[in-house]
Amino acid sequence: MKIKTRIFGEIEIEKDKLICFENGIIGFPDLKKFALIHDEEKENAFILWLQSMEEPDLALPVIDPLNVMDSYEPDVSEELFSVLGDLVKENTYILVTITVPQNVEDMAVNLKAPIVINTGNNKAVQVIVENDLPIKYKIYDIIKEKAGE
Amino acid sequence: MLALTRKKGESLVINNNIEITILEIRGDQIKIGISAPKDVPIYRKEVYDQIQEENQIALQADNMKALKDLL
């Protein structure tokens, strides 16, 4: 299907790229349907986008946290994943959101509230982890280095 | 907002499966016990608010040109 977006213009979304957050994302319970897309102009597309299907203006830049740190071990009560159906390790895809403020050097990822996707059924949930992880973990230097590779 | 007055040891029941009990009152601090199904997320509001704000900033993606230029 085709949707009009603010950031990417009109884009074609394949059905298997649709991700459903049954409870929305934190603070935005009505944002339930997103499409996971990447910028096709870029070869090293380690930054992905969750484009809202309901609000064309809104898109969340996201990244696999292992791209910006060696290990990421969020401590989450397993029951919070019950909305994802049967979740097995091979189908677990973790992403964290990226914020890019006016000063780009302050760009950061939110390690405190990861998004967990069950790639088996494309259901997703955003949870707040129990361990003391930063809400703003600066990644400018890491991204710059990666982009130069 | 519904406002109910409770004493120490008294409880509220929400939706048949959530029980909130006033455990202890000491000065301006109140200890609250919550019994809820484990799949019900319970967060401290100030942390929840911070995550909401962070999601809001991320969703606006206002400075994406800078990010694209960087990549």
Please, which residues have CB within 8 angstroms of residue A71's CB and are 6 or more apart in sequence? Answer: none
Mean per-residue pLDDT, A85-91 = 92
| CA B54 to each of CA A1, A64, A124, B3, B60: distance values in angstroms, whole numbers, following the listed order | 30, 17, 18, 30, 10
Tokens of B18: 């959530």
In chain A, residues with a C-beta closer than 8 Å to the C-beta of B52 are 26-28
Task: Provide the pLDDT for residue A41.
Answer: 66
Q: What is the pLDDT of residues B41-69, one digit of tens each?
A: 999 999 999 999 999 999 987 777 777 77
User: A-side interface with B, Cβ within 8 Å?
Assistant: 7, 25-28, 31, 39, 42, 44, 47, 52, 58-61, 77, 79-80, 82-83, 97-102, 104, 107, 110, 112-113, 126-128, 135-136, 140, 143-144, 147
Nearest-angstrom CA–CA distance, B20 and B39: 16
Q: How confident is the model at residue A126 (pLDDT cuts 50, 70, 90)?
A: very high
Task: Provide the pLDDT for residue B25.
Answer: 96
Q: What is the pLDDT of residues A35-80, one digit of tens each?
A: 999 876 665 678 899 999 999 999 999 999 999 999 999 999 889 9
The structural domains of chain A, ordered by start, are 2-147 (2.30.290.10)
Record the pTM: 0.90
Would the CB atoms of B67 and A101 count as touching at under 8 Å?
Answer: no
Task: Provide the pLDDT for residue A6.
Answer: 85
Average pLDDT, chain B: 92
Q: Is A103 helix (H, G, I), strand (E, B) or coil?
A: coil
Mean per-residue pLDDT, A74-93 = 92
Please, which residues have CB within 8 angstroms of residue A132's CB and are 6 or more apart in sequence? Answer: none
Work out the percent of chain B whose per-residue pLDDT is above 90: 80
Pairing label, strands A137-138, A33-38: unpaired
Instruction: Say what the ipTM of the complex is.
Output: 0.90
| CA A88 to each of CA A67, A78, A81, A114: distance values in angstroms, whole numbers, following the listed order | 22, 12, 11, 17
Identify the helix (H) or strand (E) that includes residue A102: none
Nearest-angstrom CA–CA distance, A107 and A141: 9
Identity of the amino acid at A34 = F
Residue holding tokens 């929840």? Answer: B48
Q: What is the pLDDT of residues A98-122, one digit of tens each?
A: 999 888 899 999 999 999 999 999 9
